[in-house]
Amino acid sequence: MANTIAEFYSEELTDWSHNIDSCTQEIEEFEERLKEVIQRNNIPDIGAKVDHFQDMLTGILNKFLLHQEEIYRQEGKLRTDSTPVENSSITTETEKQQNLLRRGMQAAEKEYIDVKYACYDFLSGTLKK
């Protein structure tokens, strides 16, 4: 269990980084599946539909990558020589940034879930044809 605010925040940041890594891997897998649909090329006008889903995946991936950069910066504020800073060293600005990151990650994760299931729906419908 975390003993300081910095340790708690760091654990939260680590969890987000792992989630981003997992989502990034899934996005790459979706992109490969979408490429396979294009290669089969047996459905009229499929290119525009695939482009739409690729754009959605790229958009959410970019959001995750921006959050990852913010996570790295925030981690730097929480450690001194790989040691968590004391509670008294946590500034209001650091707390605000952690809260902004939290809200941003929640929104990005929710958006990703919507994109993910839209892709599943599209791919399963496409594979039936």
Distance from C-alpha of 27 to C-alpha of 35, rounded to nearest angstrom: 12
Beta bridge mates, 83: 80
Angle between helices 92-128 and 46-78 (to 10 degrees): 160
**Ordered per-residue pLDDT tens for the chain, 129 residues:** 447 899 999 999 999 999 999 999 999 999 999 998 888 766 777 888 899 999 999 999 999 999 999 999 999 989 888 788 888 888 899 999 999 999 999 999 999 999 999 999 999 988 776
Give the domain extent around 107.
5-128
Number of neighbouring beta carbons within 10 Å of residue 23: 20
Count how many domains the chain has: 1
User: What are the respective helix, strand and coil percentages of the chain, to the nearest 5?
Assistant: 85, 5, 10
Distance from C-alpha of 66 to C-alpha of 113, rounded to nearest angstrom: 18
What global pTM score does this model have? Answer: 0.88
